[in-house]
Structure formats: C-alpha cells, structure tokens
Structure 1
Amino acid sequence: MKIIRSVSYILCSLGLALALSGCTNETASLSPLPPVANGHYALGTGDEVRVYVYGLDQFNNATFTVADDGMISMPMIDKVPARGKSFSELEGAIKQALLDRDILKAPIVNVQPASLRPFYILGEVNKPGEYSFRPGMSVLAAVSMAGGFTFRADQKSVSITRAVDGKPVVGRASTDDPIQPGDQIQVFERWF
C-alpha cells in the first residue's frame, strides 16, 4: 500500500511539473525593446505641433499636423520635414526655411507639442483601448489609465509593439519601462 501511494505521489508530482512547464511566461522568448534616448521625442505622422514665430502673426499659436509624407505644410515657407525630428530640430528647420526665403533676418521660432499620437493597450486591463500619450509615461502609468490590471493579469508578462526605423518591433517590457506614442501594449493572462 505504501509503495502504491509513493508511486501515485511521484506520478502526480511529475504530471503537475509537466503541466506547469507548459504555462510559461508569454514574453519569455521576447528580447527587451531597444532603449529610448532620454529627452528625445521623435515626431511622427499624426503629431500636431504649435508653432510661434515672433514677428509673424500668421504663425502665432498656429497648429500643424505631421502628414503621411513626414512633412508639415506652413504658409509662406511651404513644406518642412518633421518626421523623426525633435522639437528643437524642427525649430531649426523652420528657422532655416525662413532665412532661405528672406522672410526674416533673425527668426525666433518656438515649437511645442499640441497633440501627440495616442498609445494603445490591450489584454488583461479593465479598459483596453486608445489613450492620450503624455511625456514620461511608464507601462504602469498606461495600465493605470486603462483602469488597472484585471484579476487574471500576469503583471510581469507585458509586451510592447513599437515602430523602430519604420518597422514594427515586439519586445518584453516591465512596468517601469517608458512608453512612446504609437506603442501597442499587451498585458497577458496568467495561467495560475
């Protein structure tokens, strides 16, 4: 009788170990996302910027959207490349366009974000969907905006799909990792 119980115990333990080995973390095979340069936000299609050019009233408080071709269309200077540029780099491009067209001798330009691309959160959060991005957000802040984790969520199993050099890259993320506009965050379900 003791031998049967021992064999039964061993078989149950082995079966449980095999069952649990099939329930691995969804992100275990993913590599971490490439780091984002601190303080460098790269403008992309759909971002809106507010431009102030001192001395030109038609520019003051005007908003411009980065088009699909990566340009913003502005009065008097036509199109200015914006995709991939930081706000200060876009300021420099606008200054140069004003100088090249002899519109101002010493232009003073200020570019600020008006509306940045949203991020998306899916999976085991209470309110999955599209949310407004704010600079400095982490995965945990994004989850909080989406109503928090569900009771089924594996809080350590999160992935982010992000466009890197124009190509989608999927990587593992922790709750402390920063997010970027356009990110697609996936929170996976825990098995036990």
Structure 2
Amino acid sequence: MIETGDRYAVNALDNENYKLGFGDKLRVTVFNEPTLSGEFAVASDGTISVPLAGTIPAGNKDVGEIANAIQAKLADGYLRDPKVSAEVIAYRPFFILGEVKAPGQYPYSSGLTVLNAVATAQGFTPRSNRSVAMIRRAGATEEQAYRLTPELRVLPGDTIRISERFF
C-alpha cells in the first residue's frame, strides 16, 4: 500500500521531542562551568560520557531528559544547584540505496526531502521508479511505500530505498 495525503508529510523536525540515537551530536552547557561543557556524540551503545557526570543513557531520550539527567548527577556531590542545557548540533545520517547513482550514507540537514536526498545521491538511475520511495524510519523494523512528492520528508536515521521500475 502506498501512503498518501498529509500523513506522510512530516513537519519540520521538532528538536524538543526528537529522540536521540547513535550518531547524534549534542552540545551540553553547564552554566558557569566551561570545563564541564562541551560537545558529545551519542555512542553506539546509546550513551554519552560527560565530565564528572559519567556515562549517561541517551538513546531514545530527548534533550530535556539528557539535561535533567546530567544536572541530577552533577548535583549529587559535585556542584550546588547546577544549571544544564543541551541541544542537538548534528543529527545522525540518513541512508539512501537502490536506483540512485551514488547510494550511501549522507549527513542529515533540517527540512530535507526525499527528492533532495536523491539529488544528494547524484540523482536517479535510468531504471529507477520515480513515483514511489520505500522508507524505513529510524527504529522501525519494516519499510513502507510512500508516494514520491516534493513534500515527503526525511528524518535523521531514515533508510530510503528507490526501487527499480517495471515497464
């Protein structure tokens, strides 16, 4: 079945509710503590390592949850009333394969559409099906067919497959 209508048109990425995963990069700021602030990548086991706070589970959590976890660890014997903020500075890459000229892994940027992703992969091959894209969203186990329109959005960690057309 091919998804149609507004159901497949994902709005702009919601940073506040975005769930972190392997490959995402965060900027953590501990106010008035520059030595504890920095940029941290989510490791393959879904954690980040922060000075004094140690290893923090980050996989499938939003930035608010991460900031709160770091704040709680720092308040537990290290700092009095720490103020911590976190923001995503780089999203995990997306993958595109199948009937594109340069399949592979590419960096995600906000507002990316499937057609932009195809262009990033140097365009369609002559055998490509240009009306349907198969997408497996990050964390999903199965791919779904979507009508290929200019509004079809890519999310961080998506795997896009452009299939071969049948005449």
Q: Determine if contact 2:137/2:157 at 8 Å carries over to the other structure.
A: yes
Query: Which residue of structure 1 lines up, in the alignment, with residue 154 of structure 2?
Result: 179
2:57 pairs with 1:104: no
Query: Which residue of structure 1 lines up, in the alignment, with residue 143 of structure 2?
Result: 170
CA distance in 1, matches of 2:144, 2:69: 33
Q: Determine if contact 1:154/1:188 at 8 Å carries over to the other structure.
A: yes
CA distance in 2, matches of 1:104, 1:148: 55
Query: Which residue of structure 2 lines up, in the alignment, with residue 68 of structure 1?
Result: 44
Equivalent residue for 1:84, pick from 37, 60, 65: 60
TM-score using structure 1 length: 0.71
Local SS of the residue matching 1:189: coil
Shift of 1:31: 6.6
CA distance in 2, matches of 1:55, 1:128: 45
Q: Determine if contact 1:77/1:101 at 8 Å carries over to the other structure.
A: no
Local SS of the residue matching 2:141: strand
RMSD: 2.6
Aligned residues: percent identity? 36
Give the AA of the match of 1:149.
F
Larger radius of gyration: 1
Local SS of the residue matching 2:143: strand
Equivalent residue for 1:56, pick from 13, 33, 47: 33
Q: Output one character per residue of 1:68-102: Cα deviation in whole Å (capped at 9) or x when no partner.
A: 33221111111222111122322222222222334
Shift of 1:183: 1.6
Residue-pair matches, total: 160
Give the AA of the match of 2:77.
R
1:36/1:108 Cα in 2 relative to 1: closer, same or farther (>3 Å)? Answer: farther
Query: Which residue of structure 2 lines up, in the alignment, with residue 24 of structure 1?
Result: none
Shifted more, 121-130 versus 30-39: the winner is 30-39
Give the AA of the match of 2:102.
K
Higher helix share: 1
Q: Determine if contact 2:41/2:48 at 8 Å carries over to the other structure.
A: yes
CA distance in 2, matches of 1:45, 1:99: 27
User: Unpaired segments of 5 or more residues in structure 1?
Assistant: 1-27
- 1:118-157 superposed matches below 5 A: 118-157=93-132
2:119 pairs with 1:159: no
TM-score using structure 2 length: 0.80
